[in-house]
Structure 1
């Protein structure tokens, strides 16, 4: 009359071994990962090429700046040469003013400070080296080895899978980095040459300034002497007349 209901059987629990045997769900497929790796490699290649392009632009601007500095140095040299030529003409004028002193007043000698020797001679070796380097760059001799090396590296077939594409991008990156290193080396050399050129020009400007100051002082002295002689001629015109008559009577 009174009975007991049978309990439903409890399902057996999964063991740890059975849990491990269940394959994990993959979040992305293998082709997607390969495509992502290729895209990342191409982006890195583009970034390196952009850096190389910027560096080459800076090198071009630096080359123009260096040429401008060289032209400026040559202009300073020519201007200093003109100042030295002016000193020669000034010496002749001072000599004439000194000779006139015996007629109207006491003899006069100009007060000279430092000797004006003009600019220092330009080193022909550097100019020859510069022209030789420019000729080599125009002929492309400096980059001949690099071009051959690049041609050898690019002599590959089309990549067949993602790994080959990634390796090809790595080769392109290495080549671009080599070129970037070469450009940076050129920029370093240009910066050093600019510093040396500026040092030479600063020294040349100092020497030129000293010579100009000396010329200015001597010109002022010659002007004072000429003004004094003119005033004496106006005050004593008979002295000039006597000198003229004496010259005419001299056989």
Structure 2
């Protein structure tokens, strides 16, 4: 082979390498956008679970108050006009404080998207510099994806026991409601 054919092959491989690094960088950027959307949805789901747990606290408190009224109705005159406690339970207060701490430490997927926009670079005539910059962008993007994945894992680790706890509490609350309904029917 002559010198021109070698140069031609080198230019071909340089072009292929650059195109490959451009594609890889676009894939990392797409993954970051998808990961940010997934993380946001995961946090929204966590907030829904938190609200559900707070609602269950309120329901539990109402059921306790209702049980007091049922007992007083059973004794005909005793305590019919007394009011049950309407203070928040210590569990509800602890849960609210825990939510505040957790939201302060939360990973920001939108900030990750902003950082991802810094990954791509304008086309540069020198292929080596362009490939090098793409590789730096890919490296940063992969680091951001790792951080995002760790944040998602932490949120999932938090939500898993919460879902189990909610499942048990919903079952208990349903049983308490059925029991109180039976007691009220007997009184009527």
Please report the TM-score for the alignment, with normalisation by the length of structure 1: 0.60
- Further displaced range: 201-210 or 55-64: 201-210
**Correspondence 1:57 to 2:35:** no
Structure 2: where are the runs of 5+ without partners?
78-88
Provide the secondary structure at the position in 1 that maps to 2:91: coil
**Correspondence 1:124 to 2:100:** yes
Match of 1:189 among 122, 147, 169: 147
Residue matched to 1:86 = 59
Structure 1: which 4+ aligned runs deviate by more than 6 Å? none
Q: Whole-Å Cα distance in 2 between the matches of residues 53 and 137 of structure 1?
A: 13
How many pairs does the alignment contain?
A: 175
Q: Whole-Å Cα distance in 2 between the matches of residues 32 and 229 of structure 1?
A: 100
Q: Give the alignment's Cα RMSD to 1 decimal.
A: 3.1
List aligned pairs for 1:74-153, cutoff 5 A.
74-103=47-76, 117-118=91-92, 120-121=95-96, 122-130=98-106, 134=110, 138=114, 143=118
Q: Whole-Å Cα distance in 2 between the matches of residues 123 and 80 of structure 1?
A: 11
Q: Whole-Å Cα distance in 1 between the matches of residues 112 and 141 of structure 2?
A: 16
- Counting helix residues as a fraction of each chain, which structure ranks higher? 2
Q: Whole-Å Cα distance in 1 between the matches of residues 113 and 41 of structure 2?
A: 18
Q: Whole-Å Cα distance in 2 between the matches of residues 204 and 97 of structure 1?
A: 31
Asked if the contact 1:63/1:190 (under 8 Å) is kept, the reply is: yes
**Correspondence 1:218 to 2:176:** yes
Please report the TM-score for the alignment, with normalisation by the length of structure 2: 0.78
Structure 1: where are the runs of 5+ without partners?
1-27, 105-114, 159-167, 231-251
How far does the alpha carbon of each residue in 1:167-216 deviate from its partner, in whole angstroms, 9 at most, with x for none?
x3122111111111111111111111111111111111122222222212
List aligned pairs for 1:30-49, cutoff 5 A.
30-49=3-22
